[in-house]
Structure 1
């Protein structure tokens, strides 16, 4: 057990990436506040994770069994801070443990929960908001096995049909649609025109404006060459052609390429009516802050981990205190870089780890066994960076849980029995 006194914060023995152990004394929680009115300066969605039943078969390949009470309670926590929720995205382990049936159920339940929040007026920070403001959900093609989809027109037709099926699931729930990248489309598309043809059909079918998501190969290697080219500039040209042709059906674009310069250039090139929701979990402070003329909105996985700080920063922007807002976001940057460090696709492990430390799930487990995706040294550094950013809101609980995890790895604390 970590050491502490009535007047001190817990001290733990933590491992490092170099195999050494050192003492670390916690700093304590930051001064974060829930908003008393809607956030207006930026449009923001936090991409939320899912919480499994702790007694389920949470191993690779097993069907996902979710703890619905805990999963939906986490969405309420995000809403209470005035943030929208992006659901059924890669943060929710879409394509990495969350199977198709569970995905559809998640979309329906999250949207229904959002509808209840809207009708009840439960949170002052969401006054006047719609279900689409509270929750946006990913529409993909994960009911298809990419390896089984044939090349050519038949494969493209199968991908389009799968997308349209998912668009109907999201749209009928009342949530805003996020059109996700498709591994199956990457396999069967022969050129940029195939991408444009499939996406044009989807945008024509959508009844309300959607968010287009461009997820880079650092998050999912199977998406290399999306939009018909491995060259980012060429792919961006195709992306812009699609948006310009269908600007009335595009609410915004979420770009997850971890390239701030590319994002600022794309932001300037977008039609005035189309938002850029940054998906850059490394460079979000400067992109959200903007250059004095344009800024990015946000649809971020890291916001599911730093939501108290993110909300407080956005409240500062609303109050005209942009420098304070930027400083708060900057204070979380090192945590974001660490959680999303290579291999980036395992960032979800850090999101769930912090949710466990903060008491939002009873155990440190994830569907598909993904809780084993990071080393104990990586998790220990996540603990330190989250604490320094003030994001471990109950230090004693966080220390107790971290101590339990360390004990599993054979790392004893001072004063503990050998």
Structure 2
């Protein structure tokens, strides 16, 4: 048996005996009942100058190996999204290289890949035309790699547009020029405060009407929408109103088991940062859905929810830290460093709980390694029992 000593916020210690590793079945051919993407993180080169404000130095071998891990469990990769630290350390040069390399890996594996197109390579934008041009530059680049385009929410558009009609002007222009159906991404302010009032209103109902009008007018080139507002009620209402053939890719890291499972009439597909952390369990659950085995789906997926809710706890935009930490504990990367120094985004107590919840969900492939790395990391923080 493997034990690990973990600190609490009150200064006390608790001893946890880790569960034996579970042999999760792989599903490299994907699934038939749902489409599922994991938004993947990047692994920083531990020797790189990955300090705040510096260009990203990426450990490409580990980063791409992690994508192969996701592919092996049947998941597509949503590349260069907020999980990969867009607007939190990943610069445009690294974004381009990441999308190129990941698209090549996906092609070789016969796996799905979609990638974010935004405006973050040009931070000084003062007009809607400039925002549109920046979007189209990135759309063209993503399409050139063979990846599906995810039209990301834009900080620059949020800062420039004054009302809903101006959002429509920009998105109408983008969707009028794409060559293949895209995924539209509505990222809530809990993930990025600079996106508050997106679609021209702080009122979610009003913003939803603008968003739905856009989707309906361009349904032929909208494969689906990814909505990350952490509201199951809003998602159920929205997906029931989408045009025929337009998918809702849930981005709700608090309620995804029930939303993907569906209500017998509607269900959500998935594009989730949480799936980067729970890939083996997600793969098993989705395979169970393909078999029509709802009990097996629940048994695999439901135990992951508390872990996800903890990783995505406020301030939600630091969830990337928990995902990278769990990847390190699981042996998917050599060190726990992040682009922009983001490994400092969560506390010792928070990350100790990540290990516990991952263990409860049977997501630690090597408990001895996880325990060893946890104790090393605690010691480096000045904590020994």
TM-score range, shorter chain: over 0.9
Match of 1:123 in 2: none
For residues 231 and 30 of structure 2, the distance between their equivalents in structure 1, rounded to whole angstroms, comes to 30
**1:36 Cα shift?**
6.2
Once residues 143 and 239 of structure 1 are traced to their aligned partners in structure 2, the CA distance between those partners, rounded to angstroms, is 25
- Does residue 144 of structure 1 match 2:122? yes
Contact 1:247/1:271 (CA < 8 Å) preserved in 2?
yes
Unpaired runs of at least 5, structure 2: none
Consecutive aligned runs of 4 or more in structure 1 exceeding 4 Å deviation? none
- Where does residue 214 of structure 2 map in the other structure? 242
Superposition deviation, residue 161 in structure 1: 0.5
What 5-or-longer segments of structure 1 have no aligned partner? 1-7, 119-125, 127-133, 414-418
Determine the C-alpha separation between the residues in 1 that align with 2:70 and 2:106: 11
Deviation at 1:314, TM superposition (A): 0.5
Moved more, 103-112 or 333-342: 103-112
Which residue does the alignment assign to 2:109? 117
Cα displacement (A) at 1:12: 1.7
Q: Distance in 1 between matches of 2:74 and 2:349?
A: 33
Corresponding position of 2:202 = 230
Q: TM-score normalised to the size of structure 1?
A: 0.91
Aligned to 1:174: 146
- Of 401, 407, 414, the residue aligned with 2:379 is 407
Conservation of the 8 A alpha-carbon contact between 1:149 and 1:158:
yes
| Displacement of 1:25 | 1.3
Mark the structure with the bigger radius of gyration.
1
Matches within 5 A, 1:19-418: 19-35=11-27, 37-118=29-110, 134-145=112-123, 148-150=124-126, 155-413=127-385
> What's the CA shift for 1:101?
1.0
Tell me how far 1:58 sits from its aligned partner.
1.4
3-state secondary structure, aligned to 2:176: helix
Shift of 1:248: 0.2
Q: TM-score, normalised by structure 2?
A: 0.98
Is residue 181–residue 220 contact of structure 2 (8 Å, CA) maintained in 1? yes
Measured in 2, the distance between the counterparts of 1:275 and 1:31 equals 32
Contact kept, 8 Å, 1:160 with 1:198, in 2: the verdict is yes
Q: Aligned-pair RMSD on alpha carbons?
A: 1.0
Look up the match of 1:17.
Answer: 9
Using the TM superposition, give the Cα deviation of residue 35 of structure 1 relative to its aligned residue in structure 2, in angstroms.
Answer: 2.1
* Alpha-carbon spacing, 1:382–1:58, altered in 2? closer, same or farther (3 Å): same
Deviation at 1:37, TM superposition (A): 4.2
Structure 2 Cα separation of the partners of residues 307 and 116 of structure 1:
20
Could you tell me how far 1:30 is from its partner in structure 2?
3.0
Q: Match of 2:33, SS?
A: coil
SS at match of 2:6: strand
Q: In the TM superposition, what is the alpha-carbon distance from 1:386 to its structure 2 partner?
A: 0.4
Rounded Cα–Cα distance in structure 2 between residues aligned with 1:59 and 1:387: 31
Rounded Cα–Cα distance in structure 2 between residues aligned with 1:53 and 1:31: 29
Q: Secondary structure at the match of 1:332?
A: helix
Give the conservation status (yes or no) of the 8 Å contact 2:190–2:316: yes
